[in-house]
Amino acid sequence: MPIISPSVLACDFANIQSEVERINSSNADWFHIDIMDGVFVPNISFGFPVMKAIAKHAQKPLDVHLMIVNPDQYITDCKNAGAEWVTVHYEACTHLHRTIQLIKSEGMKAGVALNPHTPISVLEEIIEDLDLVLIMSVNPGFGGQKFIGSAVDKVAKLKKLIDLKGAKTLIEVDGGVNNETGADLIKAGADALVAGSFVFKSNDVNIPIDQLKGL
């Protein structure tokens, strides 16, 4: 069954505690936390005080997606704010290997996100060090965008690379995920699906979450 990571970017921020509780009592597995800096992406979301507030109520691991430049500077803040998984963007890291080791040295699981234009081949020499690869199926920065179909082939390519190297890396996909695109991604080899609007825009979050899980 796929791991489902609802993106709180799409939740009602005026009622964060009850939004977190809607997910606590569902079959979802993680909380996806989108941190944006207005530099790496053309939008600003929220920072560590809000992440801490979410962590205070969350009963499932925090899956943190850093859409920021200089992520090394904020890895300890992620740890202190309750992150279990930290994913940085390939395009934002000059010394990716160092950044991954830094995340792991803080006792967290390390992931790398790829923008839609970035090929899988850039991960060939580092895949065995990664706990997770996040394939972006939209250009990062905003929720509610249209799914970019080429992400499905990218998942299949990444799956091949992981199998070839005998790595244990999880494949996660983020952007425009719903019941239809989600099913295609799972078929192609995705292990984890992020969903923002599809989950939080529903009155009953259990319906989209269970659909994505194939229940």
Residues that bind ligand DX5 (CB under 6 A): 7, 9-10, 32, 34, 65, 138, 140-145, 174-177, 194-198
Q: Determine the Cα–Cα distance for residues 129 and 180; give it in Å rounded to an integer.
A: 31
Backbone angles phi, psi at 13, to 5 degrees: -65, -20
Of the candidates 29, 63, 131, 174, the residue annotated as catalytic is 174
Of the candidates 29, 34, 37, 191, the residue annotated as catalytic is 34
> Any catalytic annotation for residue 37?
no
- For residue 149, what are the CA distances in angstroms to 38, 101, 209? 26, 32, 21
* 197 binding partner (options Zn ion, ligand DX5, none; Cβ < 5 to 8 Å by kind): ligand DX5
> Any catalytic annotation for residue 174?
yes
Q: Phi-psi region for residue 71, left (φ > 0), alpha (ψ -120 to 50) or beta? A: alpha
Interface mask (CB under 5 A) for Zn ion, residues 28-67, using x and -?
------x------------------------------x--
| 110: its two tokens | 């390390």
Which residue number, 2 or 196, has a Cβ lying nearer to ligand DX5? Answer: 196
Which residue number, 145 or 167, has a Cβ lying nearer to ligand DX5? Answer: 145
Which ranges of the chain does DSSP label H, i.e. alpha helix?
16-24, 48-57, 75-80, 96-105, 151-165, 179-188, 197-200, 206-213
Report the residue from 174, 186, 192, 199 that binds Zn ion according to the rule CB under 5 A: 174
Which residue number, 2 or 176, has a Cβ lying nearer to ligand DX5? Answer: 176
Q: Determine the Cα–Cα distance for residues 93 and 187; give it in Å rounded to an integer.
A: 30
Which residue number, 46 or 48, has a Cβ lying nearer to ligand DX5? Answer: 46
Tell me which residues are annotated as active site. 34, 174
